[in-house]
Every structure is written in C-alpha cells, then in structure tokens.
Amino acid sequence: MQLSCPLPKFDFDVITLGHGSGGLLTHRLLQKGVFDILGNEFLGQQHDGASFHMDGKLAFSTDSFVVHPIFFPGGSIGDLAINGTVNDLAMCGAQPQYLSLSFILEEGLKTDEFSQILADIKTAADKAGVKIVTGDTKVVEKGKGDKLFINTSGIGTVHPGAAIHHQHIRPGDRVIISGNIATHGMAIMSVREGLEFETSIISDTVALNHTVYTLVNRFGKGIKFLRDPTRGGVASVLNEVAELTELGVDLVQSRVPVEEQVEAACEMLGLDPLYVANEGIFLAIVSEDIAAPFLQALKEDELGVNAAEIGVVSVNHPRKVIMESRIGGSRVVSYLTGEQLPRIC
Amino acid sequence: MQLSCPLPKFDFDVITLGHGSGGLLTHRLLQKGVFDILGNEFLGQQHDGASFHMDGKLAFSTDSFVVHPIFFPGGSIGDLAINGTVNDLAMCGAQPQYLSLSFILEEGLKTDEFSQILADIKTAADKAGVKIVTGDTKVVEKGKGDKLFINTSGIGTVHPGAAIHHQHIRPGDRVIISGNIATHGMAIMSVREGLEFETSIISDTVALNHTVYTLVNRFGKGIKFLRDPTRGGVASVLNEVAELTELGVDLVQSRVPVEEQVEAACEMLGLDPLYVANEGIFLAIVSEDIAAPFLQALKEDELGVNAAEIGVVSVNHPRKVIMESRIGGSRVVSYLTGEQLPRIC
C-alpha cells in the first residue's frame, strides 16, 4: 500500500547497530527521518516521556507486532501496529488518544522499507485520530531479529456510559460480528514464502474506534462485551467468554459471514475460518433488547456492512461453544490448539 | 540474581510457536505460569486493555529491551524492563503507577529462564511500587529473535510542583550526577562472549522513582531537567542539552564519579566512561541557588551516596560540551559516534 504522505528521506541506505547507540547516529535517524514524518509538539521535546492532562476513567493497552512479511496485501506492519492498539482501546469502550511507538530494528534493514512503514504509521494514526507522543528505537544484530518488530501502547478515555465487562453477560445476550471473518489471516498466508497463491484477498486492517465509539455512545450498557478477534480468531474469543462467564455460546455457522474467496482459500489450506486472525472486525455481545437496532446501526456504518448476528449466550452446555453446522448437525468449537499461522500480527 | 518470590511453574520446558497462537497454548502459558506470578485484579479481567481512573497531568513513556545476555551481574532483562520505564517516568517528574508488559519470545526459549525473568519483573515492579496491568505475548521462529525482547510502557502522575523542561535551563545552572557512571555498561561487557573478564562489577539497575519524587517534592521548579543517561551515556545527554538549549556545558572530569574497577575496565577496553550506559543514576540540571541543598539531600539517599556536582551550564561555546581534564587541558565532548556496546539495554 503506497501512501500519499511524503516519505521521510534518510541520508543512508541501511540501518546499522550504531543507529541504536543512543549517540549521534540515533540522533540523526530520529532528526533526519523519523521526526520528519511523525514529529509533533510531544516528540519535539525529545524527553524520555510525554506529558499531557487527562481526567476520568482511562484505558491502557499494549501490543507487539511481529507480522511476516512486513508488507502484505492491504497493509503493512505499520498500519497493523496503529490499528491493533487503537482497536484494543476501542474494545474497552475508550476513544484512543495517545500512542507510544517502539521499534526493534534488525541491522541491515533497508531505510526505503523503514520509510514506507513510517509513512503507513503516520497515515493510520491520522485516520484513527491518535497522536504518537513518545517512542524508542533499538537495533539488534543481523540474524537476531527479522527486519523490524513494533510495539505500540496506547491510552484513551473510556466513554462514561460504557459498561463493558464479561460479568455483565447474561443468557439470551446476542453475539454479533461486525464483518467478514478470516480475511486478514488469509491475506497474509497468500504471500507467505512457499505458499503464495493467486488471490485478490486483502487484509481488513482498519481502525474501528470511530465506529465503536458511536455505538457505545448510543447503546451504553446494552453492550456487554467487545473484542477484536485477532490471533486465535472468533473461536478463541468465544471460548474465553464461555470460560469467564461459565455460560455457553450457541453459534449458527450459516450466519457467520465469510467472503467467498477467503472461504475457498481456507478450504484449500485446510483451515477453519473461525480460527483465522482478523484485524478489522469486532465481536460484540449485547443484550437481547438492543440486538436489532445495534445490528442495524452497525450495518449502516461503512465498516459494518457485512455485520451479522451469529449466536446467542446460553445456559445450556456451560463453558462450551457449540455450533450448529450448515448441514444441521452440531459440534463443539474448542480453543485453537497448536499454531496454524504463526506471526500473523 | 536469584530472587525469593516463588517462580511460576510451567508444565512444559520450552516455548513453541503455539504459545503465540492466541489459542489454547497461549491461554495455558498465561494461566499456568505468567498470571501465577504477575496476576492482579487488572490482568485477571483478561481484556484487551486495562481501565483505571486518573486525573491531572500524566506522563507516558515506552522502552523496548534487547539486552544481551538476558542475565548479567546485578540483574536481568526483567529488572531492566521495569526499572527502565519507571525511571523514564521519574525523569518527567512523575510517580509511575501503571505498566504494560509485552514479550517477543523466540521459539525454543527455556521456560526455566522465562520463569526467572518473570520473577525478576515481579520483584522489580513491587520495589518500584508499580502495577503491571496489561500485556501481550508474541512468539517468533527460532533464529528470528534472541531468547526474548521485552517492551514496557508506563503511565504516572506528574508532581504538580514539577517544571521539568529544557526551556527552563539557564546559564549558571548546575549539572549534578546522582552516582557513579558507566557501571551498567561495564557489567554487561564483562559477560559478553569473547570478551569475558574477571571483575566484581555489577549493574546499577534500580528504580529511581522514590528518590526522584522526594527531590521534586522538595525542590520543585528549581529542578530544570532530569535524565537517566542510559545508551550513549552522560556525554550524549549533555550534548542533547547543549543542542536543545543552544547553551554550552562545562564539565570537570575530576568531579565525575567512576568506580575504580569500572574505570580500569573502561581503560582496558579503550572506552570512555562518559559514553558508557547507566541504568541506576540520573543527571539533574538545577538552578544555582538550590544546587547545594539538592546535592546534600541526594547524598543522604541510599541511591545518591556518590552524587556529585560535575559541571555548569554556560553561555560560552554554545551547543558544545567542554570538559576540563584531570591534567588541566580542555576538550570537546561530542556525541557518541558509531556504537561501542550494542544491546546494552
């Protein structure tokens, strides 16, 4: 994804260990490159941390990103690093505001690639409406990392009307998914070495905060639980819910939205879409009485056009997720065991 | 450094890619190990983020840790990851409160080592008085990382009397260092492969927040600038000050405290202690009128017994750090160029 904002111009071609020294080269890397594109009044102070005023209930989240490859159809590790933490905060019912950004660069990383990642970060942060206020850069020797790893942590203000906690989930609550599942995972798999396949699947990576905040603002405590089903997919999130609440979840397979070519790709690789990672959808558990207007509001949002009610919380089979299959049978959907798709985010 | 708090007991010997899957193995890694030792009311919610109330001026900081080796005389990457971010917040005049903790584990990491790191993290966090409230764990393939990398980010409340900003620095302000320099860097070097040397140097890694907060509380806006001179050492911090303020700094070499065996080790390796990393000291720039009581208060603290006034901010030679050497001459102390000691933190 080539972006329109100007790329930072580094006056050297590759990252060396010296760029992590804390000395002159680190200084140059930041001054003549990173700050060109990410610079703002916070980073400009060049302090060890950023300071700002906040009041009330805050949400705080962190994620490290090790996705491979770092560029993939529909995005890059840069987009993912911003959207991932933004979405985690959104799932707490918060509006993300301030992000930290920390790089672990591998010696030999091409500055062309680093520039593009920085541009992607800037674009994603602007779209999400968050400020990158503090950061860190380390460099490890060639062969001790893999191009670059990124950590972002973030802070946001929780909506005063939000009451998102698994303790609020009750039997009869509805399980709603905001869009097609398994898209991000299959986009990554399509460009993995030794596995490349022809497809037009692109990652769904996107910031969900504006969509979610509007819903929280309107439906308040009717929203019991929000989660973006990244690693481990929808199946893992629902198993966590079943375990934490000691209730069951009834899923209806035919209602779970999957794009046709994503489903075909999953079938080809022998993967169940319920376990494949997503980066641009969320799963909501809402009270029965708001389920219909919630779903309608979501479907009117451009990020929710494929939203669907896919299941219900149940007193039957506590701690288990049971899916009614398309052919009428039912089966237990358990936690993902092992690892199908390493380094998906 | 073996610690007294109980080590988490993992029921497996090594980390596999599956432990980063987001599925069953990730769940087990957290439930039967990580949460045993780090668990608290925040992590127990198993949400994507933590929520808490805060009001006023906050500080926010992040650091990734890639120190090699992960265990060294006087500490481990676990101690460093907590103390590093705690100290960054302290340098903003803040009392650190909430930390995030994110691991990038290399496939094959022994759980014995991971256990010890977790115990070190717990002990360091307790000493600093901070809570680990949210986290993340990723696993990369063998050969794509180096045992483990840690990111911590943190939030703290800025002392209402603090006015720490380089813009407040004036000619005549005094440069004070809180303890012996170059200790951490030389402790790491003493155990580097191919370089091991016999010494009893141990890292100075420690949380400075309690010491600093007491000083900020007493001396308020008399403290113009605080920084822990980690990578790049004292020389790099002072060069940043000179550049940001467009003033000069006069250093007196004979006043800079260095432990005897650290100085000997530096000499042996041809390193200048001014460029070697520290993890348990800070550099303060304070107004002339509080310099004496500030120094005295610092020397009465167990973390400040070797504190010394080592220089003064000057209108002469703007943007330059000039050191009067022990033999009476003077020389420019410039930024560290290149990298003497990669992966020191």
Q: How far apart are CA B271 and CA B243, in angstroms?
A: 24
Is the pLDDT score of B218 beyond 90? Answer: yes
Question: In this complex, do A143 and B139 lie within 8 Å of one another by their Cβ atoms?
Answer: no
Determine how β-strand B148-158 pairs with β-strand A308-314: unpaired
Q: B96 to chain A: nearest residue by CA?
A: A49
Residues B176-200 have a mean pLDDT of: 91
Q: Which of B47, B165, B272 to mutate to test the interface with A (most CBs of A within 10 A)?
A: B47
Task: Say yes or no: do domains B17-158 and B166-332 share a fold.
Answer: no
Question: In this complex, do B141 and A62 lie within 8 Å of one another by their Cβ atoms?
Answer: no
Task: Please give the C-alpha separations between residue A125 and each of A301, B230, B240, in angstroms, as whole numbers.
Answer: 20, 29, 28
Nearest by CB: A100 against B62, B232, B240:
B62
pLDDT score for A4: 53
Whether the CB-CB separation of B127 and B181 falls below 8 Å is answered with no
Q: B136 to chain A: nearest residue by CA?
A: A63
Is the pLDDT score of B103 beyond 90? Answer: yes
The CATH topology of domain A17-158 is 60s Ribosomal Protein L30; Chain: A; (3.30.1330)
Please choose, from the candidates B339, B324, B65, B80, the residue with its C-alpha nearest in 3D space to the C-alpha of residue B184: B80
Is the pLDDT score of B251 beyond 80? Answer: yes
Q: Which of A15, A58, A212 to mutate to test the interface with B (most CBs of B within 10 A)?
A: A58
pLDDT score for B225: 98
> Comparing B16 with B198, which gets the higher pLDDT?
B16
Question: In this complex, do A60 and B26 lie within 8 Å of one another by their Cβ atoms?
Answer: no
Nearest by CB: A104 against B49, B59, B149:
B149
Scan residues 317-336 of A and list those with Cβ closer than 8 Å to B: 334-336
Q: How far apart are CA A162 and CA B217, in angstroms?
A: 36
**What is the tens place of the pLDDT at every residue in B290-303?**
999 999 999 999 99
Listed range (A195-199, A334-338, B84-88, B99-103) with the worst mean pLDDT: A195-199
Calculate what percentage of chain B has a pLDDT beyond 70: 98
Extract the tokens encoding B249: 């700094």
Provide the strand spans (E) within B66-143: 71-72, 75-76, 94-106, 131-140
Whether the CB-CB separation of A105 and A94 falls below 8 Å is answered with no
Burial class of residue B17, CB neighbours in 10 A (0-12, 13-18, 19+): buried
Q: B343 to chain A: nearest residue by CA?
A: A140
Query: Does B141 reach chain A within 8 Å, measured CB to CB?
Result: yes
CA A303 to chain centroid, in Å, comes to 14
Whether the CB-CB separation of B178 and B307 falls below 8 Å is answered with yes
Scan residues 167-226 of A and list those with Cβ closer than 8 Å to B: none
Query: Does B41 reach chain A within 8 Å, measured CB to CB?
Result: no
Q: How far apart are CA A1 and CA A56, in angstroms?
A: 38
Q: Chain B contacts of A51, Cβ < 8 Å?
A: 57-60, 92, 94, 158
Is the pLDDT score of B3 beyond 80? Answer: no
The CATH topology of domain A166-332 is Phosphoribosyl-aminoimidazole Synthetase; Chain A, domain 2 (3.90.650)
Residues B261-279 have a mean pLDDT of: 95
d(CA A303, nearest CA chain B) in Å:
20
Question: In this complex, do B57 and A52 lie within 8 Å of one another by their Cβ atoms?
Answer: yes
CB contact set of A154 (below 8 Å; sequence gap of 6+): A60, A61, A62, A85, A86, A88, A89, A96, A97, A98, A99, A100, A130
Query: Does B100 reach chain A within 8 Å, measured CB to CB?
Result: yes
Q: How far apart are CA B89 and CA B71, in angstroms?
A: 24
Q: What torsion do the CA atoms of A268, A271, A272, A275 make, to the nearest 10 degrees?
A: -150
CB contacts < 8 Å between A and B, how many? 277
Give the residue extent of every domain in chain A.
Answer: 17-158, 166-332
Following DSSP, what letter does each residue of A233-287 receive, concatenated?
A: HHHHHHHHHHHHHT-EEEEEGGGS---HHHHHHHHHHT--GGGS--SS--EEEE-
Query: Does A269 reach chain B within 8 Å, measured CB to CB?
Result: no
Nearest by CB: B49 against A52, A60, A141:
A60
Q: Chain A contacts of B149, Cβ < 8 Å?
A: 104, 140, 149
Determine how β-strand B283-286 pairs with β-strand B174-177: antiparallel
Q: Chain B contacts of A87, Cβ < 8 Å?
A: 48
Listed range (A12-21, A168-177, B3-12, B160-169) with the worst mean pLDDT: B3-12
Question: In this complex, do A22 and B231 lie within 8 Å of one another by their Cβ atoms?
Answer: yes
Query: Does B166 reach chain A within 8 Å, measured CB to CB?
Result: yes
pLDDT score for A5: 62
Extract the tokens encoding A288: 């029965």
Q: Which of A29, A57, A60 to mutate to test the interface with B (most CBs of B within 10 A)?
A: A60
Is the pLDDT score of B2 beyond 50? Answer: no
Following DSSP, what letter does each residue of A105-168 receive, concatenated?
A: EETT-BHHHHHHHHHHHHHHHHHHT-EEEEEEEEEE-TTSS-SEEEEEEEEEEEPTT----GGG
The chain-wide mean pLDDT, for chain B, equals 94
Query: Does A24 reach chain B within 8 Å, measured CB to CB?
Result: yes
Please choose, from the candidates A32, A27, A135, the residue with its C-alpha nearest in 3D space to the C-alpha of residue B335: A27
Q: B157 to chain A: nearest residue by CA?
A: A51
Question: How many CB atoms neighbour CB A300 within 10 A?
Answer: 10
Helices and strands per DSSP (H, E), number in chain A: 9, 13
**What is the tens place of the pLDDT at every residue in B63-72?**
999 999 999 9
Listed range (B22-36, B116-130, B203-217) with the worst mean pLDDT: B22-36
Query: What does pLDDT average to in each consecutive run of 10 residues of chain A (345 residues)?
Result: 64 93 89 89 86 96 98 97 98 97 98 96 98 97 98 98 96 98 96 82 97 98 97 95 97 98 94 96 98 98 98 97 94 87 90
pLDDT score for A1: 44
Residues B298-319 have a mean pLDDT of: 97
Please choose, from the candidates A30, A33, A27, the residue with its C-alpha nearest in 3D space to the C-alpha of residue A11: A33
d(CA A334, nearest CA chain B) in Å:
9
Question: In this complex, do B103 and A236 lie within 8 Å of one another by their Cβ atoms?
Answer: no
Question: In this complex, do A25 and B338 lie within 8 Å of one another by their Cβ atoms?
Answer: yes
d(CA B163, nearest CA chain A) in Å:
11
Confidence of residue B5 (pLDDT cuts 50, 70, 90): low
Nearest by CB: A134 against B47, B60, B232:
B60
Q: B238 to chain A: nearest residue by CA?
A: A23
pLDDT score for A7: 76
Scan residues 283-322 of A and list those with Cβ closer than 8 Å to B: none
pLDDT score for B261: 95
Whether the predicted interface score ipTM is above 0.90: yes
> Comparing B205 with A37, which gets the higher pLDDT?
B205
pLDDT score for A67: 98
Q: Chain B contacts of A281, Cβ < 8 Å?
A: none
